[in-house]
Structure 1
Amino acid sequence: MDHKHVFAGLQTICLDVISTLNGSSSNSSNADAAERLLGVMKQIQEHGRAVEPLITGFMTVYHHFDLDEQTPGNGYRTLVKVVHSCIIHITHKARYIASNCTGAFFRMDHNVAEMEAYCSALCQLRALLYLAQVLLNDNPNGQLYSQEEGGLSERFVQEYISMHKACFYGRCLGFQFSPSLRPFLQTVVISMVSFGENYKKQQTGLGIAALSFFTSGKYVVDPELRGAEFERITQNLDMQFWKTFWNITETELLSGLTRITSSVVQVNVTLTVPAESLSLPLASDPSLSVAVKPPVAHWGPGPVNVRLISHVLRQGQDSAELLSLSRPEGPQLSLSGGFNRQTAPLSPCLLIHFHGGGFVAQTSKSHENYLKSWSKDLNVPILSVDYSLAPEAPFPRALEECFYAYCWALKNCHLLGSTAEHVCLVGDSAGGNLCITVSMRAMSHGVRVPDGIVAAYPATLLTTDASPSRLLTLIDPLLPLSVLYKCIDAYAGLSCRSVQPAQQLDTLAALGQDTVKMLSKFAQGATNWIQTLLDPKAPPSSSSTASATTSSNGPSSFKPHSEEAPQEVKEYPENFEPLRSSCLVDIKTPCTPIMKNPFVSPLLAPDSLLKGLPPVHIVASALDALLDDSVMFAKKLRNMNQPVTLTVVEDLPHGFLSLLQLSKETQEAADICVKRIREVLKLEEPTDDQKQSSVV
């Protein structure tokens, strides 16, 4: 839709509502509400007039930030799209009000509350446009991330802390996403605030969930209360809350409900890979071998847990050698249970999966739903790695475990039902990051690299740099800025002072807290050394200096209305100020050189570490706060003449793979991932008859 028509329609309907209200006689009970509505419509008019030239400006230049003409997508486009979506919602609602406000059954208070919420949303989006304009003016041509130390990236944190956000979690929740997903988002937010209300009570995880169910009613009927409580939770509750909440999906009750709707597979077994040195052929000369050590970071050598999923039972998958590695996980796991015991031959393909969860939560169990579906659709075995999670296991433990599992799978592919002629790495979010960094590590070790990577909405820049798409963390119910920072903080090891031994690894029990701190400082020192080695002419990182100055008191934090808070940003016009929040917060800004380590933030990796990567296929969402990660990484690879594709899907949030069965749009997005996997594994597209029949 032409944006001029969008804004012209907004102004016209605002005038219609104002004219209708001025020409009608309201009874005393509705007089106050009608007066409020008049004021709101005038505010919307003013916001619309101010926003239109900003949108026009972005639309004249945002194509310069796309990967290419065939792949329109970047944070500036997204901001325009979100503002258009907000205005369209306001216009539709206003048309209803103009047509019905004089009716006897018109609910004036309800409709005024709706318009007030969307007016607040439009006001805050206007503020984001002003901030994005600063990025546009300050950044080099084509650059989406702020490169200025202490620039807008720091000021945006201050703005995020003080700006009102509750409207985006109440009546306006999910307005930017596909309508089919809004009931799900509402359920998630209600569950989260109810869970947060009962968090830290003397209950088990499932007990808290049950108690939350009975206290969630008030958040259903009161959107304003829901929004305010969600804002408080996202900014104030600790990482343990998020780990607990995100892992509720892995309880027996909820995972059992998921299994009812998921594809049935003959093999779904968890394995423990022992911590033993491996010998693999050198990629450049198979007559020579290279030794791969087991993961050792933070607590010494330890096993790696993985899950094997296969739609059919294949050779090797029922061998005594593989079964000796299996570990019980519950009655739902099976090895050809209820199926014909006849084994299929080894598949030439192998899919290795690294799950998402911000490096801090979830396991392969949370991602079983789409992995089972893929195993059936592709007819290949899938190995999903359950790497250790932060903050108990910060970088580089997860990378070491994923790389070790990858090497073990290459060496023992015959046990997994595959000859590994074609190997594809696939991962979502944090898992996408690990796909890329595992491949980088394979190159640096001289080990065979995978035949391709399929990364869904990957996190390729684990720094606090601002970008236009990251401005969306102000409105995103699934990835708020405060939660994103908590994940970065945990993975970078800034929370290592609270690291506790992982119960399944006895070797950590011998390490005290001081030892863990020493290892963390060693890791940071090693990171500085790597940075110096890669770029000896580079000046000392200011982030390193900042880390040193704040190490005694923890990461730097901004608090509104305090003497230490920086001065307010001056990027807004004199006659405009965004709405401010009354919610007290304490957002810690991660600050450590580790965030710029190329194996943490592959977007910052030098060409020498990326040259030779296999084809990288990225599937991103236009409404994801991490969209610009994908766009800039694809640009970087293309500028190096590395094979890369980028597909940007519309109207879906971060994490859409886990929402596979919720809507037609999420299924189509998942199908794009499957198509890319087929390309890597050189599998033909199935015929219509094959799609309709089950694989025998």
Structure 2
Amino acid sequence: MRFGMDWGLVFTSLKVVCEENITALSGPHDLPQSDASRRLVTCMSKIRDHGEALEPLVSCLTAVYHHYDFDSDTPGNGYRTLVKVLQSCLLHIIQKGRYIASNYNRAFFRADHNVSEMEAYCSALCQLRALLYLAQRLLNDNDYGQLYSLQDGELSRRFVREYTSMHKACFYGRCLGFQFSPTLRPFLQTIVISMVSFGESYDKLQSGLGMAAFSLLTSGKYVIDPELRGAEFERITQNLDMKFWKTFWNLTESELLSGLASLASNTVEVNLVLTVPPEPLLLPLASDPKLLTPVSPPVAHWGPGPVHMRLISYELREGQDSEELMVFTCTNAPQISVSLLPFGSQKRPPSPWLLVHFHGGGFVAQTSKSHENYLKSWSKDLNVPILSVDYSLAPEAPFPRALEECFYAYCWALKNCHLLGSTAERVCLAGDSAGGNLCITVSMKAMACGVRVPDGIMAAYPATLLTTDASPSRLLTLIDPLLPLGVLSKCLNAYAGFDCQTVEPTEGTTTLSALRRDTASLISDLTMGASNWIQSFLPAEVAGPFTVSDRRSLSNEADRRSVSPCSPDFSEHRDYPEGFEPLYSERLAVIQMPSCPIVKNPFVSPLLAPEDMLRGLPPVHLVASALDALLDDSVMFAKKLRDMGQPVTLRVVEDLPHGFLSLSGLAKETKVASDICVERIRAVFQQQSPPSSMCR
């Protein structure tokens, strides 16, 4: 169903389904109702009421949300996304309601399971209604066409306040992943089960095999009890520290998971881990190549240190097996190979292209190893050598260490391209999430230092604003299993160096140093296969609301006057109309809003950069997801570059979560999105960048 069409039919169908179930299950007044019937009648009555309130609210948003798109050919912004998520929820309720009405009296109908699922979606619908009210507040208070409240700290504080108190567990239980592509839901369910199991053992301060064994024993209850899983996931995402998140996400680099990923990835002839010593470089000035400018090695926080990189090439090219390059190889690193060529074959000549890649991971986790799967595919599809940079991670290495290391690696690649199998006639920077941010800021630093800027940038779902400023897409952090606000804020604070101490990395350590390989393998084992039957059991929604007095003290809402859902006359502290309250959690999330000025540094948040720091950037190709909490980062950054006359394109893909590149082998949709990224990179290499006003 297209946006802006058939909404009347959707709400009419919802009302009819609710009435059918209420009528059918109420029964004759002289006969007692079963507990399931009573629960379902109550639930369907609430859903009907939510639907009646949501219809005019949706009408308001759909009437104006196109004004916030990048252009008419690129429908995508946080307002559209919230409506799309609501649509997915309503269509599921309608489908489930029709099933219940048709099958309730049949012998094998699982009344408790179906009623519990409907109750869970009722809770989700209530919370989505609250998000739409908050989005309307942003719509009313922001400037026309603006998706962020960059000058309104009170709006952002209210957004964080609502997040800390609102009930989120319903989105991680029976309703988990309903907004995403159906083929990805089993994977998301597996991730959540493994996370809550690992979180429980982590919370008990166990380690090694003991932690993994405990996780194996406890994971079953989270498979059969969706409500318990949702409540535990909410607790973990709100309150566990950065060490937990670094350890958990680095599980993707365990031998087992990387081995499984390699089975599905392309075989490449070159996969070398390089360690480049911190030596000063001399590069030609972009304005006058006859003159040289010095480039210092990274020094922030602990002084000069080596920079680690990975060279991936589908075919062996001249220079890639040279003794000069072998000096930089790390002989004890895993998965290092230069494949032996068949007898009589020859090395390929250097490629005129070079791709420099910065991986994602919230600035705090993962390495190039986590991203090998799609990088190998890219190297084959583009027939280009790829240099992926393993920059130092926060909180041990906050800004600007990662930026310094990525910039140094870029400059080293320009100077030593002959070792990488390339003549570097065309150089493209590519990265996802945090890596997309680094692609942009490295290019800004290249301009500031006077060295050659890359020929183009491909940034997938980049973080261009590292603050907790409110936007409609960031409201999705309430329901996103991969990017909750509690985790996002921890990553932003870590990179900004907020309330942390930096320490020099220990030589020879890896991202799995805090977690033994046997632990990682067992935890990976326990999650495999759990997702196929995850949603088939157990009753009852969990809502644990605050008392009225608690709500008032948390909300600090001065007045509760009734307002029309379309009225711009919200009271100063009131986001919800009279008679409506979202569900609240029993425990508050721990969210620290970044308060240090570093988050507004243009090299941290390029969306805030003045125009003179962005003018001269190469063509920027942004690939975002409609269901990503960082969608508005891409939309606003693309608008800013376009309005400056800078070449920029934006493509918004549907039904995929943040981090879809790392999922490219799991579903057709993620493969298609990865191919879009490849085409944008190819456009840089082939000089096919469209004009700045184009989006496709």
TM-score (structure 1 length as normaliser): 0.88
Please tell me whether the aligned partners of residues 189 and 230 of structure 1 are also in contact (alpha carbons under 8 angstroms).
Answer: yes
Take 1:645 and 1:10, find their aligned partners in 2: how far apart are those partners?
A: 39
CA distance change for structure 1 residues 562 and 67 in 2, over 3 Å: closer, same or farther?
A: closer
The separation in 2 between residues aligned to 1:652 and 1:659, in whole angstroms, is 10
| Aligned with residue 466 of structure 1, among 462, 470, 478 | 470
SS of the aligned residue for 1:594 comes to helix
Equivalent AA in structure 2 for residue 286 of structure 1: P
Alignment pair present for 1:646 and 2:650: yes
Aligned equivalent of 2:589: 585
Stretch moving more, 107-116 or 378-387: 107-116
Q: Is the 1:205–1:248 contact (alpha carbons within 8 Å) kept by the matching residues of 2?
A: no
Deviates more, 1:126-135 or 1:579-588: 579-588
Match of 2:615 in 1: 611
Within the alignment, does 1:85 sit opposite 2:88 as a pair? yes
User: Which one of the candidate residues 175, 181, 189 is aligned to 2:184?
Assistant: 181
In 1, Cα distance between the equivalents of 2:208 and 2:336?
22
Q: Counterpart of 1:395?
A: 399
Question: Structure 1's 399 and 592: CA in aligned 2 closer, same or farther, altered over 3 A?
Answer: same
How many angstroms apart in 2 are the aligned matches of 1:26 and 1:361? 63
**1:35 and 1:26, CA in 2 relative to 1: closer, same or farther beyond 3 A?**
farther
Per-residue deviation at 1:3? Answer: 1.3
1:12 aligns with 2:1: no
Aligned residue type for 1:309: I
SS at match of 1:495: coil
How far has the Cα of 1:185 moved from its partner? Answer: 0.3
Residue number in structure 1 paired with 2:255 = 252
User: Residue 348 in 1 paired to residue 352 in 2?
Assistant: yes
Match of 2:215 among 194, 212, 216: 212
Aligned counterpart, 1:139: 142
Distance (Å, rounded) in 2 between the aligned partners of 1:239 and 1:194: 17
Q: Which amino acid aligns with 1:140?
A: D
Counterpart of 1:486 in structure 2 is: 490
TM-superposition CA deviations, 1:58-100 (whole Å, max 9, x none): 0000010001000010000001101111000000000000100
Task: Give yes or no for contact 1:295–1:401 (8 Å, CA) kept in 2.
Answer: yes
Q: Tell me how far apart the structure 1 counterparts of residues 472 and 114 of structure 2 sit (CA, whole Å).
A: 32
Aligned to 2:171: 168
Q: Deviations along 1:351-373, whole A, 9 cap, x unmatched? A: 00000000000000000000001
CA distance 1:491–1:563, change in 2 (3 Å): farther
Determine the C-alpha separation between the residues in 1 that align with 2:447 and 2:333. 38
1:595/1:202 CA distance change after superposition, 3 Å: closer
Tell whether 2:617 aligns with 1:625.
Answer: no
SS at match of 2:109: coil
Question: Which protein, 1 or 2, shows the higher relative CO under an 8 Å CA cutoff with sep ≥ 6?
Answer: 2
Instruction: Please point out which of 82, 101, 118 is paired with 1:98.
Output: 101
1:652 partner SS? coil
Distance 2:208 2:185 in 1: 26
TM-score by length of 2: 0.88
Paired with 2:613 and 2:53, the residues of 1 have a C-alpha distance of: 46
Q: Compared with structure 1, are the counterparts of its residues 209 and 355 closer, same or farther at alpha carbon in structure 2 (3 Å cutoff)?
A: farther
The correspondence for 1:456, drawn from 460, 474, 477, is 460
User: In 2, Cα distance between the equivalents of 1:210 and 1:342?
Assistant: 50
Instruction: For 2:181 and 2:451, locate their aligned partners in 1 and report how far apart those are by CA, in whole Å.
Output: 43
Structure 1 unaligned runs (5+)? 507-559, 685-696
1:567 to 556, 563, 576: 556
Residue in structure 1 matched with residue 561 of structure 2 by the alignment: none
Supply the AA of the counterpart residue of 1:320.
E
Query: In the alignment, is the contact (CA less than 8 A) between 2:458 and 2:677 conserved in 1?
Result: yes
**Which of 42, 49, 68 is matched with 1:39 structurally?**
42
Indicate if the aligned counterparts of 2:350 and 2:421 stay in contact, CA closer than 8 A.
yes
Backbone CA RMSD of aligned residues: 2.0
Relative distance call for 1:301 and 1:311 in structure 2 (3 A) is same
Query: What is the CA distance between 1:648 and its match in structure 2?
Result: 0.2
CA distance in 1, matches of 2:674, 2:212: 29
Q: Following the alignment from structure 2 to structure 1, what is the Cα–Cα distance between the partners of residues 317 and 185?
A: 41
Q: Which amino acid aligns with 1:419?
A: T
Measured after TM superposition, the shift of residue 344 of structure 1 is: 0.8
CA contact (8 A) 2:70 2:76 kept: yes
Letter in 1 for 2:287: S
What do residues 556-592 of structure 1 show as CA deviations (whole Å, max 9, x unaligned)? xxxx959985614521111000001113432222211
Tell me how far 1:665 sits from its aligned partner.
Answer: 0.4
Alignment-mate amino acid for residue 219 of structure 1: Y
What is the aligned counterpart of 2:128 among 125, 130, 141? 125
Q: What is the rounded CA distance, in whole Å, between the counterparts of 1:228 and 1:339 in structure 2?
A: 56
Matched, 1:243 2:243: no
Whole-angstrom CA distance in 1 between matches of 2:555 and 2:577: 19
CA shift in 2, pair 1:257/1:583, >3 Å: same
Following superposition, the deviation at residue 208 of structure 1 comes to: 3.4
SS at the partner of 2:324? helix
Check the 8 A contact 1:121/1:172 in 2, yes or no. yes
Contact 2:273 2:333 in 1 (8 A): no
- Secondary structure of the corresponding residue to residue 199 of structure 1: helix
- The whole-number CA distance in structure 2 between the counterparts of 1:65 and 1:292 is 41
SS of the equivalent of 1:57 reads: helix
- Which of 51, 54, 57 is equivalent to 1:51? 54
**Which residue identity does 1:169 align to in structure 2?**
Y
Partner AA of 1:19 in structure 2: T
State the alpha-carbon separation in 1 of the partners of residues 586 and 206 from structure 2: 30
Letter in 2 for 1:486: K
How many Å apart are 1:24 and its aligned residue?
6.8
Q: What is the CA–CA distance in structure 1 between the aligned matches of 2:589 and 2:54, rounded to whole Å? A: 29
8 A contact 1:191–1:213 mirrored in 2: no
Matched, 1:286 2:289: yes
- Deviating more after overlay: 226-235 vs 257-266: 257-266
Which is worse superposed, 92-101 or 200-209?
Answer: 200-209
CA–CA distance in 2 between the matches of 1:110 and 1:359?
41
The 2-side partners of 1:562 and 1:172 are apart by 25
Q: What's 2:543 paired with?
A: none
TM-aligned CA deviation for residue 108 of structure 1: 1.2
Q: Counterpart in 1 of 2:440? A: 436
Distance 2:30 2:322 in 1: 80
Q: CA deviation at 1:103?
A: 1.3
C-alpha distance in 2 between matches for 1:389 and 1:368: 18
Cα offset for 1:35? Answer: 0.4
Alpha-carbon distance between aligned partners in 2 of 1:564 and 1:275, rounded to the nearest angstrom: 54
Q: Map of 1:270-669 to 2, 5 A cutoff?
A: 270-337=273-340, 342-497=346-501, 499-504=502-507, 561=550, 567-568=556-557, 569-669=573-673
1: distance between equivalents of 2:31 and 2:411?
Answer: 76
Task: Give the letter for the 1:319 counterpart.
Answer: S
- Judge conservation of contact 2:162–2:555 (CA < 8 Å) in 1: no
Question: 1:513 maps to which residue?
Answer: none
Secondary structure (helix, strand or coil) at the match of 1:496 reads coil
Contact 2:163-2:589 at 8 Å conserved across structures:
no
- For structure 1, which segment, 5-14 or 404-413, has the greater mean C-alpha deviation from structure 2 after superposition? 5-14
Tell me, what secondary structure is at the counterpart of 2:176?
Answer: coil
Q: Quick one: distance in 1 between partners of 2:297 and 2:551?
A: 48
Amino acid at match of 2:77: N
Q: Cα 1:331–1:151, aligned 2, differ >3 Å: closer, same or farther?
A: closer
